[in-house]
């Protein structure tokens, strides 16, 4: 069993702001790693705006 605090503790629930279909799980994981690598929510939002045109 894991103990400790969650990073989301005392924060708002997640909201889905972007959705995309992929032909394979590998493609989806690749994008997930890229987006998580940004580390800054503004960079993620910028990527989403750029991607959705």
Overall pTM surpassing 0.75 (yes/no): no
| 9 or 16, which is more confident | 16
Instruction: Express each pLDDT in 22-49 by its tens digit.
Output: 999 999 999 999 988 988 889 989 999 9
The pLDDT of residue 27 is: 96
- C-alpha span between 31 and 9 (Å, rounded): 26
The DSSP annotation for 1-50 comes to ---S--TTTTSPPP--------SSHHHHHHHHHHHHHT-SHHHHHHHHHH
């Amino acid at each position: 069993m894991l103990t400790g605090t969650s990073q989301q503790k005392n924060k708002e629930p997640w909201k889905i702001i972007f959705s995309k279909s992929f032909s394979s799980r590998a493609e989806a994981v690749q994008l997930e790693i890229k987006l998580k690598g940004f580390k800054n929510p503004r960079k993620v939002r910028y990527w989403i705006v750029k991607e959705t045109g």
